[in-house]
């Protein structure tokens, strides 16, 4: 179905190929997973399938990409639209209509699909992605996870034979991710669709893949059976890391398989106790954030109800919950972007929504779900220099923070040409480098590989140890397990759980990390904890 015939691609003004001699054939009716480090070239490979690379990217393409016999070098994306459906890392970038139902119909209108067929396909897509209740919703009112499912549904209505997905579950809560993955599996198994997906959240998707393509940092590609590739892949989920540590064979790819192999390990760990939090607590003991009966509305829709909480200096609080639970709304209130409909809110005894921009940035730093909103210079270097100057930092401070996050950025590249994870790392550095009293991160690991997330935890712990308060809204339970001291779960605008992170996630069948699920009833959060216990 898809043939990469010795493909090498190099972007303009760079010497290192993004893809190097890719020689892979993807047959019809299979789900292929593309993995690799942040910025390794996963999105480049995906964009070459529908011709965005090289038609819109520029650059030099050697070899050829064939889709159902058609060369993407001679057939531009518009001529492949009936064959290849694409959902990018930002699902909202392709929205053109006002409501969900109209968006699902739009592609079919352009293709001249008959009205009766159009209506049936819309209904099928609504049911398949479990979004029938969103049919009449305005696209601008959707949460990021809801928008992701609508974007996938809108592509499916055109009935493509190939579906290309870039980070399809990264913005979804665990339940919604399972629904999407189940739907994708049905498309492959029942309808014979060919799906190629790039994803960093491998703990969610690797068990569903028929084959895996691993892209190394030099652009070289390996393809094969998931177990054989994951044994020495550049990135690996906790279930694989734990399997390698314990020496399990065959290597497990799912929690179910790992639990079957983990009996002896569970017995050994039962003789020891999971470690207490290792986060260094600062000397200061003061409230940075205080809310009392905070409520918020969008029109007549109540999205936060009577939220009362306190966030102290040195805490790293994870805000969890389903898509649409109110997490981003709460962060936007704490960040001074929204005024409460009712109740009290203070940050450092100030009402953030009353502060001017200069006062606000001294007290609060917010990284939104779309990091591009914070980036406006022409190069990475210019962005960092501007951030240092505006925040009165020593020259090089922002770039040093990027380095601390473990991300390699070309200083001369435009931020829009970076991968999603690279762009996010740059935005985090811009916000974190001046060390505001309160750091707010909305989905801070989208596009980041596991090693980059480990670097992020080090940066956040260092900030907390210096007395800064951190709140992150995330669906990434592995990040919560690694860094959070406390977890708050929101549901329909209410706080339904609030306590030490270990207690909250280990007692939740939805938000427990892979290691906790595998080794239950022991409350082990990460592979690093297990490794330390085995060495002791």
Q: Which two tokens stand for residue 429?
A: 């550095």
* Among the four given CATH numbers 3.40.50.2300, 3.30.565.10, 1.10.760.10, 3.40.50.300, the one describing domain 287-535: 3.40.50.300
pLDDT tens-place string over residues 241-300: 999 999 999 999 999 999 999 999 999 999 888 776 544 454 457 899 999 999 999 888
Name the residue with tokens 């569903």: 208
Phi, psi angles (nearest 5°) of residue 226: -55, -45
> Residue 280's pLDDT is what?
47
C-alpha–C-alpha distance, residues 177 and 112, integer Å? 32
DSSP string, 444-499: TTTT--HHHHHHHHHHHHHHHHTT-EEEEE-S-HHHHHHH-SEEEEEETTEEEEEE
DSSP string, 333-388: HHTTSS--SEEEEEETTB-GGGS-HHHHHHHEEEE-SSGGGG--SSSHHHHHHHHH
Phi, psi angles (nearest 5°) of residue 446: -65, 120
Question: Is 278 exposed, middle or buried, given 0-12, 13-18 or 19+ CB atoms closer than 10 A?
Answer: exposed
C-alpha–C-alpha distance, residues 193 and 29, integer Å? 5
What angle do the packed helices 144-156 and 174-191 form, to 10 degrees? 10
Residues 404/455, Cβ–Cβ less than 8 Å = yes
Fold of 2-235: Rossmann fold (3.40.50)
Residues 391/361, Cβ–Cβ less than 8 Å = yes
Do the domains 287-535 and 2-235 match in fold?
Answer: yes
Q: Which two tokens stand for residue 208?
A: 């569903």
Q: Are strands 221-224 and 211-215 parallel, antiparallel or unpaired?
A: antiparallel
> Residue 347's pLDDT is what?
96
Low-confidence ranges of the chain (pLDDT < 70): 144, 276-284
> Residue 281's pLDDT is what?
54
In the chain, domain spans: 2-235, 287-535
Residues 333/319, Cβ–Cβ less than 8 Å = no
Residues 164/53, Cβ–Cβ less than 8 Å = no
């Amino acid at each position: 179905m898809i043939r990469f015939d010795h493909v090498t691609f190099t972007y303009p003004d760079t010497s290192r190929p993004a893809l190097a001699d890719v020689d892979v054939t993807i047959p019809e009716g299979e789900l292929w997973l593309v993995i690799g480090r942040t910025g390794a070239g996963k999105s480049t490979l995906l964009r070459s399938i529908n011709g965005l690379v090289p038609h819109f990217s520029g650059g030099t393409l050697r070899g050829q990409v064939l889709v159902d016999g058609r060369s993407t070098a001679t057939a531009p994306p518009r001529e492949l639209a009936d064959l290849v459906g694409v959902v990018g890392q930002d699902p909202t970038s392709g929205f053109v209509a006002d409501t969900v139902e109209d968006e699902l119909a739009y592609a079919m209108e352009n293709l001249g699909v008959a009205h009766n067929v159009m209506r049936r396909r819309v209904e099928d897509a609504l049911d398949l992605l479990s979004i029938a209740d969103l049919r009449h919703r305005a696209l601008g009112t959707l949460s990021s996870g809801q928008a992701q499912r609508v974007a996938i549904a809108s592509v499916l209505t055109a009935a493509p034979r190939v579906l290309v997905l870039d980070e399809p579950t990264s913005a979804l809560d665990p339940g919604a991710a399972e629904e999407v993955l189940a739907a994708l599996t049905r498309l492959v198994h029942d309808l014979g669709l060919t799906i190629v997906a790039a994803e960093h959240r491998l703990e969610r998707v690797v068990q569903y893949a028929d084959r895996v393509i691993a892209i190394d940092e030099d652009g070289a590609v390996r393809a094969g059976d998931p177990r054989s590739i994951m044994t020495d892949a550049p990135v690996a989920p906790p279930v694989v890391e734990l399997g390698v540590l314990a020496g399990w064979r065959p290597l497990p790819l799912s929690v179910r398989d790992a639990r079957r192999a983990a009996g002896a390990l569970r017995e050994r760990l039962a003789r020891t106790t999971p470690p207490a939090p290792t986060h260094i607590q600062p000397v200061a003991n003061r409230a940075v954030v205080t809310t009392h009966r905070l409520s918020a509305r969008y029109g007549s829709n109540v999205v936060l109800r009577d939220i009362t909480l306190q966030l102290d200096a040195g805490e790293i609080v994870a805000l969890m919950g389903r898509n649409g639970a109110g997490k981003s709304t709460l962060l936007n209130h704490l960040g001074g972007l929204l005024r409460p409909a009712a109740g009290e809110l203070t940050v450092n005894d100030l009402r953030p929504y009353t502060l001017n921009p200069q006062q606000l940035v001294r007290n609060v730093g917010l990284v939104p779900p779309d990091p591009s909103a914070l980036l406006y210079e022409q190069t990475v270097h210019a962005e960092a220099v501007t951030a240092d100057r505006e925040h009165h930092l020593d020259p090089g401070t922002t770039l040093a923070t990027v380095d601390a996050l473990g991300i390699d950025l070309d200083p001369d590249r435009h931020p829009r040409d970076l991968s999603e994870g690279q762009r996010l790392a740059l935005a985090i550095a811009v916000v974190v480098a001046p060390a505001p009293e309160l750091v707010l991160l909305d989905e801070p690991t989208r596009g980041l590989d596991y090693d980059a997330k480990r670097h992020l935890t080090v940066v956040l712990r260092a900030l907390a140890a210096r007395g800064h308060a951190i709140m992150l809204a995330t669906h990434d339970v592995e990040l919560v397990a690694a860094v959070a001291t406390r977890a708050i779960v929101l549901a329909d605008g209410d706080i339904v759980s609030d306590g030490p992170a270990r207690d909250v996630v280990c007692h939740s069948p939805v938000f427990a990390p892979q290691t906790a699920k595998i080794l239950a009833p022991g409350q082990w959060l990460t592979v690093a904890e297990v490794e330390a216990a085995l060495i002791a």
